[in-house]
């Protein structure tokens, strides 16, 4: 085969993947960055270069800060707890116990359920007066609470629901990692007189670190990617108390049609996610043992 | 120094009897090999002694103390696993000292023991490496090191050499034997390789289907196999065992009350007209270098003779086979057991 022919073959093989990646990933990313430096095109008013005006507008926007702070607390509230729970559940269902298949299935169910169905279930739980939580509280003579309607409780409600949904999903990764661990290690440790906690601390947990990093990165991305539940449950309200960054981007882009501002917010969101992922890799990479 | 006494030990899973009433004694400071084909229960037996599994019956005593119900750590044992069971995220030194740290041995003592083990095993330059950066033989040494620093009086090994290549296996055999003598450990060693058993053991416990077939020193096992199974399991090529007819001659058809066993090296090829020689027809010739294996058929039986050098015999030739009275082993075909030593 001549060199030119080989080159053509090469490009033809590469082509489909390259076209898809460029059209749906690279081009939109560049376009977003481009739009963030231009004004939104309106009727009779084409898009023009505005420099950092959009970014200035963002910094002056109290809703942006509210969403950022909400998102921060949302991440802090969901990530450690759901990962910790996932690890605990995985350790538990990895033991030899009766009906563990059903237990694993039960833990994984929240992940399988459609997002809107999940939101509906929790909407019922949180309903004032006759919702599940208020009925239980009623048994103890406590008064009804509008869980999703109070700025003080709404973010907490979202956090609890997210933990419920994510922990089972992360558990699967931990369970897979635990099952690929040779049982000989535990036996060797048992002969040395190593207790369960010491074994976990010295052997199991360090060997699970690659999984933890993977789950952590996913959890962080998930925390900033949350939009569907919020739209179904609260639409960011009341008074922006449950407004998260992606919900805000959705609102700005598709309700107010302010494409330039939405692009600006997207760039910031991407920057945040990229930075966090980079920090995670740099900090944790050195302490992780890959098999 | 601790002896190990196993009495009527059994491990059943439902109707499956992995181990069925096994009793034997290993003297303090001696090297015992549990030998048998796969599925004979030898690994189960070792795991029961280690305490990694619990027996359904019987007892285990180590140094006079009944340890049947004790956890592994309280039995005074160390164990080397077939897959080495090294902690992949810990360095060689950390792996070796893991047990000592867990048992809160102080740092100075830990260092002393580590240095001694590293010196014994030639691991000095590898202490900072991770197991994944070591060859199979080096990983094996680390596993040995972990067993040595524990300074347990009894050491259990579960097919420790089966993942190594032939050359390395040979070296490690000698090395493990040497270590065991030097540290005067009581060793219980599981293998399916009869060569390991013959070369290393003071005592061989041959197992089959969860029962002891024979418990003897290697030379006794070789010279006086108690059963047809033992006779055929030990030796390369294995002992010839042929059925006998009612008059005590090699039978023309299979099935007969008795069986005759002769080791290939005890058979000599003689001219066919030699008085008293068994007349047979050569089926195949296998030249091995130092000697030749001549397989010949007599009636329903097939006899292999080990002839020194390169034998000048063609396949299909009629030859005579002879052996001395002492080389004969007579077995009962129904029980599979040895009848009696041949009359001198």
**CATH no., domain B4-223:** 3.40.50.300
Residue A259 is inside which H or E element, if any?
helix A259-285
**ipTM of this complex prediction, to 2 decimal places:** 0.80
Q: Does position B344 have pLDDT exceeding 60, yes or no?
A: no
Inter-chain CB proximity B88 and A194 less than 8 Å: no
- Among residues A240, A225, A201, A260, which one has the least CA distance to residue A64? A240
Partners of A184 on chain B (C-beta within 8 Å) are 81, 83, 85
Question: Which of the four pLDDT bands, split at 50, 70 and 90, describes residue A291?
Answer: low
pLDDT, average across residues A31-51 = 85
- The answer to whether residues B173 and B164 touch, using CB atoms and an 8 Å cutoff, is no
Q: Is the peptide bond before B58 cis (omega within 30 degrees of 0)?
A: no
Number of A–B residue contacts, CB under 8 Å: 64
Partners of B139 on chain A (C-beta within 8 Å) are none
| Number of other CB atoms surrounding residue A110 within 10 Å | 17
Buried b (16+ CB within 10 A) or exposed e, A159-191: bbbbbbbbbbbbbbbbbebbeebeebbbbbbbb
- Among residues B283, B290, B280, B171, which one has the least CA distance to residue B236? B290
Q: What is the CA radius of gyration of chain B?
A: 24
Our CA-based measurement puts residue B211 at a distance from the nearest CA of chain A, in whole angstroms, of 25
Question: Distance (Å, rounded) from C-alpha A263 to C-alpha A79?
Answer: 27
Q: Does position B16 have pLDDT exceeding 80, yes or no?
A: yes
Inter-chain CB proximity A207 and B150 less than 8 Å: no
**What does the mean pLDDT of chain A come to?**
87
pLDDT, average across residues B130-146 = 90
Inter-chain CB proximity B83 and A193 less than 8 Å: no
| Number of other CB atoms surrounding residue B119 within 10 Å | 10
Our CA-based measurement puts residue B42 at a distance from the nearest CA of chain A, in whole angstroms, of 17
Supply the pLDDT for residue A85: 94
Going through B52-136 in order, the beta strands assigned E by DSSP cover 57-62, 65-66, 77-80
Q: Does position B280 have pLDDT exceeding 80, yes or no?
A: yes
Partners of B102 on chain A (C-beta within 8 Å) are 189, 192-195, 198, 202
Which of B72, B82, B131 best probes binding to A when mutated, by most A CB atoms within 10 angstroms? B72
Share of chain B above pLDDT 90, in %: 52
Q: Bigger pLDDT: A239 or A175?
A: A175
Which of B89, B90, B146 best probes binding to A when mutated, by most A CB atoms within 10 angstroms? B89
Inter-chain CB proximity B99 and A192 less than 8 Å: yes
- The answer to whether residues B155 and B188 touch, using CB atoms and an 8 Å cutoff, is yes
Domain residue extents for chain B: 4-223, 228-340
Inter-chain CB proximity A202 and B71 less than 8 Å: no
Question: Which of the four pLDDT bands, split at 50, 70 and 90, describes residue A111?
Answer: confident
* Interface membership of B249 toward A (CB under 8 Å): no
Give the helix, strand, coil percentages of chain B, each rounded to 5: 30, 35, 40
- The answer to whether residues A226 and A243 touch, using CB atoms and an 8 Å cutoff, is no
Inter-chain CB proximity B81 and A190 less than 8 Å: no
pLDDT, average across residues B263-280 = 88
Question: Which pLDDT tens digit goes with each residue over A119-160?
Answer: 888 888 888 878 888 888 888 877 777 777 777 788 888 899
pLDDT, average across residues B100-105 = 90
Inter-chain CB proximity B83 and A184 less than 8 Å: yes
Partners of B98 on chain A (C-beta within 8 Å) are 189, 192, 194, 202
Domain B228-340 is of which CATH architecture?
Beta Barrel (2.40)
A188, A192, A195 member nearest B81 (Cβ): A188
Question: Distance (Å, rounded) from C-alpha A278 to C-alpha A266?
Answer: 18
Question: Distance (Å, rounded) from C-alpha A286 to C-alpha B174?
Answer: 40
- The answer to whether residues A137 and A49 touch, using CB atoms and an 8 Å cutoff, is no
- The answer to whether residues B19 and B45 touch, using CB atoms and an 8 Å cutoff, is yes
* Interface membership of B105 toward A (CB under 8 Å): no
Interface residues of A toward B, Cβ cutoff 8 Å, are 182, 184-185, 187-195, 198, 202-203, 206-207, 289, 291
Question: Which pLDDT tens digit goes with each residue over A218-267?
Answer: 898 888 888 888 888 887 778 788 888 888 999 888 888 888 899 999 99
* Interface membership of B93 toward A (CB under 8 Å): no
Inter-chain CB proximity A192 and B98 less than 8 Å: yes
pLDDT, average across residues A3-17 = 93
Q: Is the peptide bond before B300 cis (omega within 30 degrees of 0)?
A: no
Supply the pLDDT for residue B30: 94
Lowest model confidence (mean pLDDT) among A78-87, A197-206, A280-289, B282-291: A280-289
Supply the pLDDT for residue B267: 92
Supply the pLDDT for residue B343: 47
Q: Bigger pLDDT: A8 or A114?
A: A8
Q: If you ran DSSP here, which 8-state letter would residue B154 be given?
A: E
pLDDT, average across residues B273-286 = 88
Question: Which pLDDT tens digit goes with each residue over B301-332?
Answer: 889 999 998 888 888 888 999 898 888 898 98
Inter-chain CB proximity B79 and A188 less than 8 Å: yes
Written as six digits, the tokens of B157 are: 């090994």
Q: If you ran DSSP here, which 8-state letter would residue B146 be given?
A: H
- The answer to whether residues B324 and B267 touch, using CB atoms and an 8 Å cutoff, is no
Starting at the edge strand that comes first in sequence, how are the strands of the sheet with B4-13 ordered?
B16-26, B4-13, B57-62, B65-66
Question: Which pLDDT tens digit goes with each residue over B176-215?
Answer: 999 899 989 999 999 999 999 999 999 999 999 999 999 9
Domain residue extents for chain A: 60-285
Written as six digits, the tokens of A135 are: 């009925």
Inter-chain CB proximity A182 and B78 less than 8 Å: no
Question: Distance (Å, rounded) from C-alpha B146 to C-alpha A16?
Answer: 54
User: Number of C-alpha atoms within 13 angstroms, CB side, residue B112?
Assistant: 6
Inter-chain CB proximity B88 and A188 less than 8 Å: no
Residue in chain A lying closest to B82 (CA): A184
Phi, psi of A85, deg, nearest 5: -60, -45
Question: Which pLDDT tens digit goes with each residue over B38-65?
Answer: 889 899 999 999 999 999 999 999 999 9
Which 37-66 residues of chain B touch chain A by CB within 8 A? 50-52
**CATH no., domain A60-285:** 1.10.3720.10
Q: Does position B249 have pLDDT exceeding 50, yes or no?
A: yes
- Among residues B183, B118, B184, B188, which one has the least CA distance to residue B159? B188
User: Number of C-alpha atoms within 13 angstroms, CB side, residue A136?
Assistant: 5
Written as six digits, the tokens of B191 are: 């293998």
Q: Does position B342 have pLDDT exceeding 60, yes or no?
A: no
* Torsion sign over Cα A200, A203, A208, A209: positive
Partners of A206 on chain B (C-beta within 8 Å) are 89
**Any bridge partners for residue B189, and if so which?**
B33, B157
Inter-chain CB proximity B85 and A185 less than 8 Å: yes
- The answer to whether residues B296 and B322 touch, using CB atoms and an 8 Å cutoff, is no
Supply the pLDDT for residue B231: 92
Question: Which of the four pLDDT bands, split at 50, 70 and 90, describes residue B1?
Answer: low
**Which DSSP string do the residues of A66-108 spell out, in sequence order?**
HHHHHHHHHHHHHHHHHHHHHHHHHHHHTS--TTHHHHHHHHH
Inter-chain CB proximity B99 and A202 less than 8 Å: no
- The answer to whether residues B341 and B331 touch, using CB atoms and an 8 Å cutoff, is no
CB within 8 Å of B217: residues ≥ 6 apart: B201, B202, B203, B204
- Among residues B48, B99, B107, B58, which one has the least CA distance to residue B78? B99
- Among residues A147, A164, A165, which one has the least CA distance to residue A156? A147
**What does the mean pLDDT of chain B come to?**
89
Question: Distance (Å, rounded) from C-alpha B74 to C-alpha B60?
Answer: 13
Q: Bigger pLDDT: B35 or A103?
A: B35
Supply the pLDDT for residue B129: 92
Q: Does position B171 have pLDDT exceeding 60, yes or no?
A: yes
Question: Distance (Å, rounded) from C-alpha A207 to C-alpha A190?
Answer: 17
Question: Distance (Å, rounded) from C-alpha A82 to C-alpha A80?
Answer: 6
| Number of other CB atoms surrounding residue B65 within 10 Å | 12
Residue B284 is inside which H or E element, if any?
strand B278-287
Our CA-based measurement puts residue A209 at a distance from the nearest CA of chain B, in whole angstroms, of 10
Question: Distance (Å, rounded) from C-alpha A191 to C-alpha B296?
Answer: 52
């Amino acid at each position: 085969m001549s060199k030119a022919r080989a080159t053509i073959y090469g490009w033809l093989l590469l082509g489909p993947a390259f076209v898809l990646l460029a059209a749906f990933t690279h081009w939109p990313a560049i376009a977003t960055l481009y739009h963030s430096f231009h004004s939104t095109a309106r009727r009779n008013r084409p898009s023009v270069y505005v420099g950092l005006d959009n970014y200035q507008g963002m910094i002056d926007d109290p809703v942006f800060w509210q969403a950022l702070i909400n998102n921060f607390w949302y991440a802090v509230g969901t990530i450690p707890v759901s990962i910790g729970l996932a690890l605990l559940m995985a350790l538990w269902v990895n033991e030899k116990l009766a009906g563990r298949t059903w237990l694993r299935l039960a833990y994984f169910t929240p992940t399988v359920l459609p997002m809107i169905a999940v939101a509906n279930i929790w909407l019922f739980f949180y309903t004032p007066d006759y919702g599940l939580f208020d009925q239980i509280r009623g048994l103890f003579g406590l008064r009804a609470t509008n869980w999703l309607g109070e700025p003080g409780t709404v973010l907490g409600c979202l956090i609890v629901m997210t933990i419920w949904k994510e922990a089972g999903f992360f558990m699967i990764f931990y369970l897979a990692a635990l099952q690929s661990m040779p049982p000989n290690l535990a036996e060797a440790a048992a002969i040395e007189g190593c207790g369960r906690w010491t074994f976990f601390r010295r052997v199991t947990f360090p060997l699970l670190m690659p999984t933890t990093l993977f789950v952590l990165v996913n959890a962080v991305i998930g925390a900033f990617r949350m939009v569907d539940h919020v739209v179904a449950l609260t639409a960011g309200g009341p008074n922006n108390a449950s407004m998260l960054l992606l919900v805000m981007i959705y609102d700005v882009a598709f309700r107010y049609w302010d494409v330039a501002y939405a692009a600006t917010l997207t760039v910031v969101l991407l920057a945040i996610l990229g930075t966090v992922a980079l920090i995670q890799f740099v900090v944790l990479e050195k302490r992780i043992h890959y098999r | 120094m601790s002896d190990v006494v196993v009495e009527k030990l059994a491990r059943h899973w439902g109707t499956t009897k992995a181990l069925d009433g096994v009793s034997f004694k290993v003297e303090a400071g001696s090297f015992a090999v549990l030998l048998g084909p796969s599925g004979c229960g030898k690994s189960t037996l070792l795991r029961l002694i280690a305490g990694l599994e619990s027996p359904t019956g019987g007892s285990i005593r180590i140094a006079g103390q009944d340890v049947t119900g004790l956890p592994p750590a309280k039995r005074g044992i160390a164990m080397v696993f077939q897959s080495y069971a090294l902690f992949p995220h810990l360095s060689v030194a950390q792996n070796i000292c893991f047990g000592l740290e867990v048992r809160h041995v102080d740092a100075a003592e830990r260092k002393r023991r580590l240095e001694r083990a590293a010196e014994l095993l030639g691991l000095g330059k590898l202490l900072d490496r991770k197991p994944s950066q070591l060859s199979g033989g080096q990983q094996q040494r680390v596993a040995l090191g972990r067993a040595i620093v524990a300074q347990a009086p009894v050491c259990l090994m579960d097919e420790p050499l089966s993942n190594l290549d032939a050359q390395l296996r040979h070296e490690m055999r000698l090395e493990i034997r040497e270590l065991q003598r030097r540290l005067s450990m009581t060793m219980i060693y599981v293998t399916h390789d009869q060569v390991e058993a013959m070369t290393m053991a003071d005592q061989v416990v041959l197992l089959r289907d969860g029962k002891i077939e024979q418990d003897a020193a290697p030379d006794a096992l070789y010279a006086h196999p108690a059963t047809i199974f033992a006779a055929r399991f030990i030796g390369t090529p294995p002992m010839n065992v042929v059925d006998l007819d009612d008059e005590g001659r090699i039978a023309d058809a299979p099935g007969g009350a008795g069986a005759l066993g002769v080791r290939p090296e005890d058979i000599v090829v003689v001219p066919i007209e030699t008085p008293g020689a068994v007349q047979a027809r050569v089926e195949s010739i296998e030249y091995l270098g130092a000697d030749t294996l001549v397989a010949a058929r007599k009636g329903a039986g097939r006899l292999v003779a080990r002839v020194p050098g390169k034998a000048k015999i063609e396949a299909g030739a009629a030859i005579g086979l002879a052996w001395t009275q002492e080389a004969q082993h007579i077995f009962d075909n129904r029980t599979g057991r040895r009848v009696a030593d041949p009359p001198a």
